[in-house]
Structure 1
């Protein structure tokens, strides 16, 4: 059964409800009995194949003992579940935005990523990730957590049926000495190795060719087997998940334009090999 709503907030709500139940080791049938609903209905809610009401979500959270900010965030997701776009714009939204990324990356068939100034997250080495964290003054404990999560996210590229990744990377991302020369050399070697995989395409968009719409910022497009695509746009203090058709089409057009500007995979390998030395 396809989701009744494939919006970013609806899919994140489903994942959040499932996570909270499983974190408390409460069985699906047991929770359904306490709610007074059929287990099949609760299962559909947790899979995003049917949308619960805000009242149903409140009842679930109360039975699971979810309180405070976390309860408020999940209730907010429920209120916005039918809206096509979702803006995660506060620190309180960070955990749900991350849940959304894990959900979309894990269920996508293809991911198209455009990264003009940094190596895309799914292709970053641990040392490159750590260098970014250090430069961002992230506390050590939080940096360790983010590193583990990012490396966990990368597993979608190596699972038995891996996601297809089309990575369009700005040439300037290779020129920024993130962490120093040794870390960048290892990072470029990693790009070369990942680009040899059948499910991964790494192409470099040359710098110095004037203005194009990609200079406005990075984005990712998640394509799914049975639901419309979702576009992810990240800013300093907010993240936007775009599901509205016009928004997605606009980003698909930019991705197509970037693909036309990008070097071929072979020429990109040559450039990377030169940059690695």
Structure 2
């Protein structure tokens, strides 16, 4: 049996607890003293080494004096933290879904993804991301917060020990007009620049090649050292994180099929330069 701390929800809960404490300027020992627990136990909860119970999470949230919306979100996550898979039906709320994604990206050794119609978030320019978020069903303040978070997340590609990132992207993503012509031109130039990084691979899957499984939907596969991989699925109204072996295996197979249909990296560069003209 897999340890409960390896589940997607448990890892997201750990990251969210750590973020809430630091955002409110509380030291680990200070908060532990406030809720009358050992600092070592709180540290284990924040590192995902142990899973805090819903009752313990409620005590922490009370001590941190979070607002009602944050309390409800965190308690939903705490109640499902030990589930094998995690479904968040309201991904427009930044935590805990985004906290989970940030944690997976931060700790992953390799990230693979397939996007059919848009450029992956880790490769988006600020203007391209803003064009998407400003046309989504979220408020301006929340869109700004998500944009800032998205740009910060991209640092995992250029940090001292960068994650390996393999992106398979549908041709429609580079030909679809998101924002103005200048925004799309800058975005394509940015893709070419990112491909120069030794840890980044980008390959385009051509349009008009008939049916393939990628037409059904996009996915991201996070792989870790010493922890089970996680598959991330998302649409406009729900996001899911799965880590059962058979599910991961099916998405590995799908990625292999898509890679077999994709252009080489050299041909992808040629196509991007053609689009950028």
Q: Same fold (TM over 0.5)?
A: yes
Whole-angstrom CA distance in 1 between matches of 2:101 and 2:178: 24
Give the 3-state SS of the residue equivalent to 2:49 in structure 1. coil
Question: Which residue is 1:220 aligned to?
Answer: 220
1:275 is displaced (CA, Å) by 1.2
Give the 3-state SS of the residue equivalent to 1:210 in structure 2. coil
Question: Which residue is 2:64 aligned to?
Answer: 64
1:4 is displaced (CA, Å) by 4.7
Question: Which residue is 1:201 aligned to?
Answer: 201
Question: Which residue is 1:116 aligned to?
Answer: 116
Question: Which residue is 2:13 aligned to?
Answer: 13
Q: Mean Cα displacement is larger for which, 121-130 or 85-94? A: 85-94
Give the 3-state SS of the residue equivalent to 1:135 in structure 2. coil
Q: Mean Cα displacement is larger for which, 70-79 or 37-46? A: 70-79
Q: Mean Cα displacement is larger for which, 82-91 or 198-207? A: 82-91
Structure 2: 5+ residue runs without aligned partners? none
Deviation per CA, 1:196-234, whole angstroms, max 9, x where unpaired? 110000101111111111110111111111101111111
Question: Which residue is 1:87 aligned to?
Answer: 87
Deviation per CA, 1:130-184, whole angstroms, max 9, x where unpaired? 2223333654433322221111111111111111110101011111011132221
1:242 aligns with 2:242: yes
Quick one: structure 1 residues 40 and 213, their matched pair in 2 at CA, closer, same or farther if it must change by over 3 Å?
Answer: same
Q: Mean Cα displacement is larger for which, 49-58 or 223-232? A: 49-58
1:135 aligns with 2:135: yes
Indicate if the aligned counterparts of 1:113 and 1:167 stay in contact, CA closer than 8 A: yes
Whole-angstrom CA distance in 1 between matches of 2:234 and 2:117: 13
Quick one: structure 1 residues 130 and 215, their matched pair in 2 at CA, closer, same or farther if it must change by over 3 Å?
Answer: same
1:122 is displaced (CA, Å) by 0.6
Question: Which residue is 2:98 aligned to?
Answer: 98
Quick one: structure 1 residues 266 and 92, their matched pair in 2 at CA, closer, same or farther if it must change by over 3 Å?
Answer: closer
Q: Mean Cα displacement is larger for which, 199-208 or 122-131? A: 122-131
* Aligned length in residues: 276
Give the 3-state SS of the residue equivalent to 2:95 in structure 1. helix
Whole-angstrom CA distance in 2 between matches of 1:140 and 1:37: 40
Whole-angstrom CA distance in 1 between matches of 2:237 and 2:137: 15
Whole-angstrom CA distance in 2 between matches of 1:134 and 1:165: 27
Quick one: structure 1 residues 138 and 42, their matched pair in 2 at CA, closer, same or farther if it must change by over 3 Å?
Answer: closer
Question: Which residue is 1:179 aligned to?
Answer: 179
CA RMSD across the alignment = 1.8
Whole-angstrom CA distance in 1 between matches of 2:229 and 2:173: 26
Whole-angstrom CA distance in 1 between matches of 2:54 and 2:143: 34
Question: Which residue is 2:159 aligned to?
Answer: 159
1:185 is displaced (CA, Å) by 1.5
Whole-angstrom CA distance in 1 between matches of 2:192 and 2:263: 14
Quick one: structure 1 residues 139 and 60, their matched pair in 2 at CA, closer, same or farther if it must change by over 3 Å?
Answer: closer
Structure 1: 5+ residue runs without aligned partners? none
Whole-angstrom CA distance in 1 between matches of 2:44 and 2:138: 38
Indicate if the aligned counterparts of 1:3 and 1:48 stay in contact, CA closer than 8 A: no
